[in-house]
Structure 1
Amino acid sequence: MDQMLKKAAECAETLKKCEEAIIVSHIDADGLTAAGIMCMALEREGIDYTTKFLKKLDTTALNEIADIGRELVIFTDLGSTMQKEIDALNLNVIISDHHQPVGVTLEHHLNPHLFGINGTDELSGSGTAYLFAKEIGSNMDLAGLAVVGAVGDMQDAKTGRLIGMNRHNMQDGVDAGVISVETDIRLFGRQTRPVYKLLEYCSDPYIPGISANEAGCIEFLRELDIPLKDFGWRHWIHLNRDEKQRIVSKLMRLCMESGIPPYKVERIVGEVYTLQREQEGTELRDATEYSTLLNATARYGHADIGLNVCLGDRDESYTFAHNLLAQHRRNLVDGLHFVKETGVTTMKHLQYFHAGYNIQDTIIGIVAGMSASTESVDRRMPIIALADAEDGIKVSSRGTQDLIRQGLNLAVALRESAEQVGGTGGGHDIAAGATIPKGEEERFLAILDTRIGMQLK
């Protein structure tokens, strides 16, 4: 940790020598919050900046960035897998990333993996940017965005709480008064959904009689003598402690009676993170809902809107983002329906589905992750999702902690397999992505199946 903070301080000193910079980041919640943190840190330091958001960083994008001609390029939540290509352009760069590094290590490269810290669940891209920002100036109040980004990157999924350096950042947020932490139900929608809807949309775990069963959820609450309405629909945040405990206890009993494995049942309860300075009853109040709102912007070509929300716009940009979120939710439901209807194809060591243009390439990874909780997907092997994109075939993959313990590393497997068919890839051991040429899907999957098999041996 000390060595990483020392490197962050070195990067900050380099930054302070510059008068202008371009911040280049990824189009997900972690990338948006990382960029938001960096934008505010630079603004407070009086450094002029512009931003650029990318679906992926490749040589074409790098050449475009070089042509812009800014004094300094700051990569947040990407860059670590393209160091050789970045170095070849002789750019003045700082990389603040958390994905598994590839190739040479550039001088100003801040990445947890370089310091023995796991970027999959111990430090997010936004968390790395926050450590950088702390060395630039007095920026502890930005820890809230770091928590939103970490949660959006599913870094709390393994244990039901943030761990490692993420936890240090979280504590900064608590100390700064921007975050509060409590143990509570971890179902999505604590702030914004009526309680019966919060239960109905529970998919991890899938609870028979509750999940996707509105009438069943209403009856469930009536049996517990919990009113659905007061002056309006009651949300989880409106319930008292006794009502919450009764719901959770009965949910757990239902799960056990349905034969749901204990490790899935345990996911129902864990740590939740509340943004103390945001309005109660809005998506921005809850870290999980906030991150989903951000995903609904950049993944549909509106990264500027998501960034503005991170920077504090609660008027026009927030309203626009809220409208995008409604469409995003419909697209995810449609995507899951597609997977359930078409099913998955099983190979020796992996399972996959090819969505074509039925699921947008910018959300195929989210759908892949959500599909892992459905009955049609076997959690004993990784799920690989493919979708048509403008520049080829987008590939997203998701594994499980059990598979990681057996040796699975999707970042390595996808990168090496993609390179063999003329593509690129990378990411984390449990979740990674790639882009491959159209027409190479069958060969890519065969190579990937073999590589995953070798890892699991």
Structure 2
Amino acid sequence: MEIENKIKKARAWVDEEDYIRVVSHHDVDGISSASIILNFLKRNNKKFYCSLLRNVNRELLNALDCDEKLCIIADMGSAYIDEIEKLDKRVIILDHHLPKRESKNESVLQINPHLHDINGSAEACASTLSYFLANEMDLISFMIAGALGDRQGSEFSGLNKTFVDEAIEKGIIKKSFGVTIDCYDNSNLQRKLETSIAPFFKDISGRNGAGEKISESLKGKSEKTVNSTLLLELLKQGCREEVTSDLLGYVYSLPFRNMNSNELLSLFNVCDGLNMAEVGLSMALGDEKSYSEVIDKKEEYYKRALSGLVNLEKSGAIEKSRIQYFYSDNLAMSGLYASISMNYFLDQEKATLALTKTKEHLKISARGTRHLVKNGLNLAIALKEGAERVKGNGGGHDIAAGATVPLEEGVKFLDTTDEIIVKQMSR
């Protein structure tokens, strides 16, 4: 079945129900997806109950054990198609992670871009699919935030580009090119650099006073000169061209609170990083108190993220043949730490794994680069196979994936995953 026909069928299922169970992921794409779905259901006078999950493997099936006859799952589900097909209810899966297979059960609609020759790590995310389902153009704000949060670039391609171009043509959003520094203090250039997470300026980000020298040297210079100088600084610290979009890229003016795309992405990052996903969802549904709460927490999030990154910059990672890894006591920020560190100050030729210990398990957030993917890296396969060999589970995308394994099997998992990636990169 073509993806358009699946979407039409999904809308028909929604029309038939009064009360719908919604389950989504706890990250930016998951929050954005749920924001779209719940606004869509609310406008169509549907009742709903929504959960945002962090530990997908343990909590998803429990969340689906409910009385509702229709469940919508966003940003997860494809990895659990076998279990979901056994449920006695209709299920709509809006997932962009690598699927096991197409659904064989007529009660399960698996809408996954990979099943339709669309790249789920670059051309469509769960927010894209949720927007496709909702068909409400003003909800494009959340689709863009989700795609940016999933690092699918600001110059969109594929299905993302189709929807964004349509919204631009209709005058719903506007697109401009400019500085995209992700920081919490915009008062002057020095503070921008010192409070910037992405780009992460080595020996400057997260350090008060460290940006004074370069800022003074750029006083009175043109915007073009400033941008060129900062870009050169990133190249000097070894950054690949693919991450320079963190400095300069496309920014979109959005209908949601008249924000731009960077501002909304920043607020959803706060919600993810400080375990406030439900607050972010309430904000997206128009709750003023929730919006104020997220704004009040913004500086705390950035300071906590920068502190972790500075510590990692100082300590470095443990290296193996094709992976490098470090331990993080902050599960919510482990993916951020892995992504930023490998792009800005660790070895960019090795996949980066952030490890978080719980009482019984080791949780892994892994990140790669487009460069590594072009040279054979597929983290979804590597983490899935590596985890399964030690009775764990894993999956995701070629460029970003996650896994959970028994704590006592951590060393074996790392050795096995490294061997798998060595083989991938030698083909």
Normalised TM-score (structure 1): 0.85
Change (3 A) 1:201 1:14: same
Q: Confirm whether residue 184 of structure 1 aligns to residue 153 of structure 2.
A: no
Change (3 A) 1:220 1:447: closer
Q: Is the 8 A contact 1:29 1:292 kept in 2?
A: no
Q: Which moved more, 1:52-61 or 1:409-418?
A: 52-61
Equivalents in 1 of 2:263, 2:235: separation in Å? 28
Q: Which runs of 5+ in 2 are unaligned?
A: none
Equivalent residue, structure 2, for 1:231? none
Equivalents in 2 of 1:194, 1:455: separation in Å? 45
Change (3 A) 1:190 1:166: farther
Equivalent residue, structure 2, for 1:46? 45
Change (3 A) 1:260 1:362: closer
Equivalent residue, structure 2, for 1:349? 322
Equivalents in 2 of 1:186, 1:211: separation in Å? 15
- Kindly report which structure 2 residues correspond to 1:158-177, keeping only aligned pairs within 5 A, or say none: 160-177=154-171
Change (3 A) 1:132 1:216: same
Work out the number of aligned pairs and report it. Answer: 423
SS in structure 2 of the partner of residue 421 of structure 1 = coil
Offset, 1:412 = 1.1
Residue 166 of structure 2 aligns with an amino acid whose one-letter code is D
Equivalent residue, structure 1, for 2:55? 56
Equivalent residue, structure 2, for 1:306? 280
Equivalent residue, structure 2, for 1:248? 227
Equivalent residue, structure 2, for 1:95? 93
SS in structure 2 of the partner of residue 181 of structure 1 = strand
Equivalents in 1 of 2:211, 2:315: separation in Å? 28
Equivalents in 1 of 2:92, 2:120: separation in Å? 18
Residues 143-201 of structure 1: CA distance to partner in whole angstroms, max 9, x if unpaired?
Answer: 11100111111110xxx522111112222332454422111122224995533222334
Offset, 1:3 = 2.5
Offset, 1:264 = 5.4
Q: Is the 8 A contact 2:180 2:246 kept in 1?
A: yes
Change (3 A) 1:363 1:205: closer
Offset, 1:124 = 1.2
Equivalent residue, structure 2, for 1:37? 36
Q: Is the 8 A contact 2:102 2:110 kept in 1?
A: no
Offset, 1:221 = 4.5
Residue 302 of structure 2 aligns with an amino acid whose one-letter code is R
SS in structure 1 of the partner of residue 21 of structure 2 = strand
Equivalent residue, structure 2, for 1:130? 131
- Kindly report which structure 2 residues correspond to 1:217-228, keeping only aligned pairs within 5 A, or say none: 217-226=211-220
Equivalent residue, structure 1, for 2:392? 423
Residues 82-132 of structure 1: CA distance to partner in whole angstroms, max 9, x if unpaired?
Answer: 111111223321101111112452541111111000110100110111011
Residues 354-387 of structure 1: CA distance to partner in whole angstroms, max 9, x if unpaired?
Answer: 23xxx21121111111111343x11011011100
Equivalents in 2 of 1:341, 1:255: separation in Å? 18
Offset, 1:431 = 0.4
Q: Which runs of 5+ in 1 are unaligned?
A: 227-241, 280-284
Q: Confirm whether residue 152 of structure 1 aligns to residue 149 of structure 2.
A: yes
Equivalent residue, structure 1, for 2:342? 372
Normalised TM-score (structure 2): 0.90
Matching residue within 273, 288, 297 for 1:324 = 297
Change (3 A) 1:345 1:190: closer
Q: Is the 8 A contact 1:191 1:286 kept in 2?
A: no
Offset, 1:407 = 1.3
Q: Confirm whether residue 291 of structure 1 aligns to residue 291 of structure 2.
A: no
Offset, 1:245 = 2.4
Equivalents in 2 of 1:352, 1:254: separation in Å? 26
Change (3 A) 1:213 1:386: closer
Identity percentage of aligned residues: 29
Q: Confirm whether residue 433 of structure 1 aligns to residue 396 of structure 2.
A: no
Residue 320 of structure 1 aligns with an amino acid whose one-letter code is E
